[in-house]
Amino acid sequence: MVPVMAKTPKIQSLGVDWFLPGAKRRFASSTRATSYLIEALGDEGHTVSSAHDELRYDPEGRAILARYVEAGYGLAILADVLANKV
């Protein structure tokens, strides 16, 4: 008998996939509205940490930015992180 491996459930994309700079696997998926909001904060010149603090009513966006902070990009300019220039 051949052992049967359990399939891992695929994470369905919500529209925008988020990757850490240099990573091949996405760590989150979000809606376009959340993506636009994060990009707008990046255009204002926020760092990742300050953009995280500005997002008060979007838990999905806060979780994405919190993951960037945990990875060590808290003091980086958000626009540079989103463009993978870090």
Each residue's pLDDT tens digit, 24-36: 888 889 999 999 9
pLDDT tens-digit series, residues 1-22: 556 555 556 667 778 999 988 8
The DSSP symbol for 69 reads: I
Domain positions in the chain: 16-82
CA atoms within 13 A on the CB side of 62: 7
Q: Roughly how many angstroms between the first and final C-alpha of the chain, as a whole number?
A: 50
Q: Two tokens at 6?
A: 């359990």
Q: Global pTM?
A: 0.81
Asked if 63 contacts 36 with a C-beta cutoff of 8 angstroms, the reply is: no
